[in-house]
Structure 1
Amino acid sequence: MHETGEFCVFVVRTASRSAAVDDDRREFKLLGRRQLSGLGLACPVTTGVRSRAVLELQQIYGRLQFRALVGGEFVPGEGDRIAWRVRFWETVRPTPQQGLLRGALLPGLPERLGDEATGGLNANLNRGALPAGQLVIDRAGYDQKSSPVLFATAVDLLLHILLAGAFGSPAEPVIRSWVATGRIPDSLPRFDVEA
């Protein structure tokens, strides 16, 4: 589907929520030196491939429209740890770029939004249910009305999309579920665990 003049892997819409997923959008690359990172307990995995995706969410409350764009990469690895990193934008004047959905976004992840995004990631890391490997959030876009809560949701959904891509599961049902209900399924995409 051609939504913005460039191909999106898929776009899902209702009257109050929309989501679009693409493989990558370099114009939203996070170039700042500031980052948060860490290690979390993980399940050893037997298979998997590198997975990269960008996700944009839009949610409408009354007359207000909130948007969040995040992207990253997951690379399965050996052992029982997942290394993660979230980069932040440190430019004073980012240039607006066309998002995956209609309208422009500013590239970047300001600190006020980054804290929520990291919080959304920590909820999954603390469960110890993720596969071993490396996870980086290195794409983001926002506007002046962006909601920190929507960024946390976007990171959680992005994680589902990246794991689905790495382990051959479909990501579209999870996105359709969020667009239809506003909730994210508790279960992560299936991945093969070492015996």
Structure 2
Amino acid sequence: MGKLFSALRPEHEQFIQKQRIFFVGSAPLQPEGHVNISPKGYDVLRILSSSEVAYLDLTGSGNETSAHITENGRITLMFLAFEGAPLILRLYGSGRVVLPNMPDWERLIPHFDLLPGARQIISVQIHAVKTSCGYSVPYYSYAGDRNTLQQWAQKKGEQALKAYRQEKNSLTMDGLVTPLGQIPSQTADADENG
């Protein structure tokens, strides 16, 4: 039932652009490490070519994907048809974290609306696209986006978000250091400059 492709086809792109949510899967190399699956809402995904997609990643309570792909590159994005014809579409690829201070940020950020709490861009070079039936996926109707995350980020403000990321987004639950965890803290910057 499933079909495998080496890159996105126009019909795949059309399907992806209609979806209101997608899921991201990643895992560390260590056998006892935890597999992570994250839902992504809002209009944050961009198709850059038939072999590259990227999404704007917003500040949250964890940062597992970022550390996993920095360690080993492996990432899977999954899209589901909750209405219309059934379909599951997975993108298998090699991910890369792009932070605001990195050169590739300037290439990628113009593709996005900069949402409150944006912390990084995850870029994915696709090496396989797989479709499957999705016959058992139930119907769900889209009622709207939750604005809670954006409101939280706006209320917190940029300085408090930086401190939050240092505290909550620097290590995974398995102890892997994320790219955000490699950024010197504001206190360290102040000590060096003072």
The structure carrying a bigger helix percent of its residues is 2
User: Quick check: TM above 0.5?
Assistant: no
Give the number of the structure whose alpha-carbon radius of gyration is greater. 2
**TM-score computed with the length of structure 2 as normaliser:** 0.29
Asked which structure has the greater RCO (Cα within 8 Å, sep 6+), the reply is 1
